[in-house]
């Protein structure tokens, strides 16, 4: 069903580039049309949340398809491993450059030449941030969708310090918040990164279960892919 | 070889997403309870499915439960959708094939932009295909 082609696929790639560009414009147009009493910024945020949701759906469905041929993933480390080693080359056609974790529920994914942005240029540093942030919503929604298929309601924040390089912060919810909806405030960085408020749609039962079961497994090895769930042993 | 069977696709919150009954003639004894009994049995075996899913990383989890003469088999997808089948001791190869085909059909349903995973599947085309699959393989 899935063919991972090694051919150039230039028609696919070009159409996708155009589609992404047009989606951002469309989101902007849609948000301007709504005649509510929100301020301009809030309207833009709505438009961008729309983009993020599209990315979310795409991420979910794509992972479902890709997982058909592999065995089921039981451990939570394997989820990150799947994302970084298998999904990233298939979708973005290159390996991830760096994966860091702070062991407390946040992973930082760095890609030094983000494929979807390879054709973009911008003049100066500050302009760049302003112009590229809309385009970051779709990829962050995409990653959120991928994690959601496995049952992890994560929160993804994307930044783009230099144009082809992108950094995604993936934050897993703290265990005390597993059963309630959460929208964490945005993160440290001083740049104007938008944080997308995220609803906990479908929290599957496995997310609660996996938190408790992985503490029993051999997951406490100090590797960079150590799952976030292991420092949170549930008192069962 | 069409014995009685009951296929259910159960979502991540134990919500039924799709159900199909292929009845045999002899099931009419407990008329009042007939259809509901199938649902009870499958629901009760969901706990066992959850236990088993952490032990193996295969999709097809074989026969996990038994109720009198009916067996329950399960197939778990990576996104934690459970395909359950209630049947009467058939060859597990054809059941495995059935589940695999069902999985592919399910993925095709998900690809539709109008369908969100975990919602009930109301498409008639899906229903027809599952019926013909069941007739062919079960």
Domains of chain B: 5-137 (3.30.450.70)
**Are A65 and B57 a contacting pair at CB < 8 A?**
no
Q: B3 falls in which pLDDT band (50, 70, 90)?
A: low
What is the reported pLDDT for B24? 60
Answer left, alpha or beta for residue A47, where phi above 0 means left and psi between -120 and 50 means alpha.
alpha
Question: How many Cβ atoms are within 10 Å of A27's Cβ, its own excluded?
Answer: 22
* Residue among A182, A142, A61, A156 at smallest CA distance from B115: A61
Question: How many Cβ atoms are within 10 Å of A25's Cβ, its own excluded?
Answer: 11
The overall average pLDDT reported for chain A is 69
Structural domains of chain A, ranges and CATH numbers in brackets:
13-171 (3.30.1380.20)
Q: Above 70 in pLDDT, residue A205?
A: no
Q: Could you tell me if A133 and A194 are in contact, meaning their C-beta atoms sit under 8 angstroms apart?
A: yes
Length of chain A: 236
- Round to whole Å and give the CA distance between B72 and B61: 10
| Structure-block tokens of residue A57 | 């759906």
Q: Above 60 in pLDDT, residue A218?
A: no
Q: A117 falls in which pLDDT band (50, 70, 90)?
A: confident
**Are B79 and A205 a contacting pair at CB < 8 A?**
no
Lowest mean pLDDT across A5-14, A198-207, B34-43, B80-89: A198-207
| B110 chain-A contacts, CB cut-off 8 A | 60-61, 64-65
Lowest mean pLDDT across A28-32, A141-145, B105-109: A28-32
More confident residue, A218 or A43: A43
- Round to whole Å and give the CA distance between A67 and B106: 13
What is the reported pLDDT for A141? 92
What is the reported pLDDT for A56? 92
- Round to whole Å and give the CA distance between A60 and B51: 25
Q: Could you tell me if A209 and A65 are in contact, meaning their C-beta atoms sit under 8 angstroms apart?
A: no
| B80 chain-A contacts, CB cut-off 8 A | 151, 204-206
**Are B78 and A202 a contacting pair at CB < 8 A?**
no
Q: Above 80 in pLDDT, residue A120?
A: no
Q: Above 70 in pLDDT, residue A227?
A: no
**Are A73 and B14 a contacting pair at CB < 8 A?**
no
- Round to whole Å and give the CA distance between B14 and A119: 45
This complex has an ipTM of 0.81
Question: How many Cβ atoms are within 10 Å of B136's Cβ, its own excluded?
Answer: 13
Q: Could you tell me if A129 and A120 are in contact, meaning their C-beta atoms sit under 8 angstroms apart?
A: no
Q: Provide Rg for chain A, Cα atoms.
A: 18
The residue of B49, B52, B55, B79 whose CB has the most chain A CBs within 10 angstroms, and thus the best one to mutate to test that interface, is B79
More confident residue, A220 or A53: A53
Q: Given CB atoms, is B53 within the 8 Å cutoff of chain A?
A: yes
- Contact residues of A toward B, CB < 8 A: 1, 57, 60-61, 63-65, 67-68, 70-74, 149-151, 202, 204-206, 209, 213
Q: Above 60 in pLDDT, residue A226?
A: no
**Are B80 and A206 a contacting pair at CB < 8 A?**
yes
The CB-side HSE value for A137 (13 A sphere, CA atoms) comes to 27
Q: Which of A57, A74, A204 sits opposite B54 (nearest CB)?
A: A74
């Amino acid at each position: 069903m899935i063919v991972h082609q090694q051919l150039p696929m230039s028609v696919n790639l070009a159409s996708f580039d155009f589609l992404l560009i047009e989606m951002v414009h469309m989101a902007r147009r849609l948000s301007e049309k709504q005649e509510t009493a929100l301020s301009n910024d809030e309207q833009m945020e709505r438009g961008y949340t729309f983009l993020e949701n599209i990315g979310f759906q795409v991420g979910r469905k794509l992972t479902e398809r890709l997982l058909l041929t592999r065995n089921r993933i039981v451990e939570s480390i394997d989820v990150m491993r799947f994302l970084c080693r298998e999904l990233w080359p298939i979708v973005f056609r290159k390996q991830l450059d760096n994966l860091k974790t702070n062991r407390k529920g946040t992973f930082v994914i760095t890609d030094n030449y983000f494929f979807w942005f390879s054709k973009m240029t911008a003049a100066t540093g500050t302009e760049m941030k302003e112009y590229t942030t809309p385009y970051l919503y779709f990829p962050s929604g995409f990653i959120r969708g991928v994690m959601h298929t496995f049952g992890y309601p994560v929160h993804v924040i994307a930044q783009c310090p230099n144009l082809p390089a992108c950094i995604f912060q993936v934050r897993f919810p703290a265990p005390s918040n597993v059963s309630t909806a959460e929208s964490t405030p945005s993160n440290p960085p001083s740049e104007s990164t938008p944080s997308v408020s995220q609803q906990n749609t479908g929290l599957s039962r496995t997310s609660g279960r996996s938190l408790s079961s992985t503490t029993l497994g051999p997951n406490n090895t100090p590797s960079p892919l150590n799952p976030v769930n292991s420092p949170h042993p549930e008192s069962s | 070889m069409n014995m009685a069977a009951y296929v259910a696709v159960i979502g991540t919150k134990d919500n039924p997403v799709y159900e199909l009954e292929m009845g045999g003639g002899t099931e009419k004894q407990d008329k009042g309870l007939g259809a509901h009994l199938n649902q009870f049995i499958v629901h009760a075996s969901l706990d066992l499915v959850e236990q088993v899913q952490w032990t193996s990383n295969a999709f097809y989890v074989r026969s996990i439960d038994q109720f009198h003469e009916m067996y329950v088999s399960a197939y778990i997808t990576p996104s934690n959708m459970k395909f359950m089948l209630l049947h009467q001791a058939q060859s597990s190869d054809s059941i495995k094939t059935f589940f695999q085909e069902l999985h592919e059909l399910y993925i095709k349903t998900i690809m539709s932009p109008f369908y969100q995973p975990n919602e009930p599947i109301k498409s008639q085309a899906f229903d027809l295909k599952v019926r013909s699959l069941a007739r062919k393989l079960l």
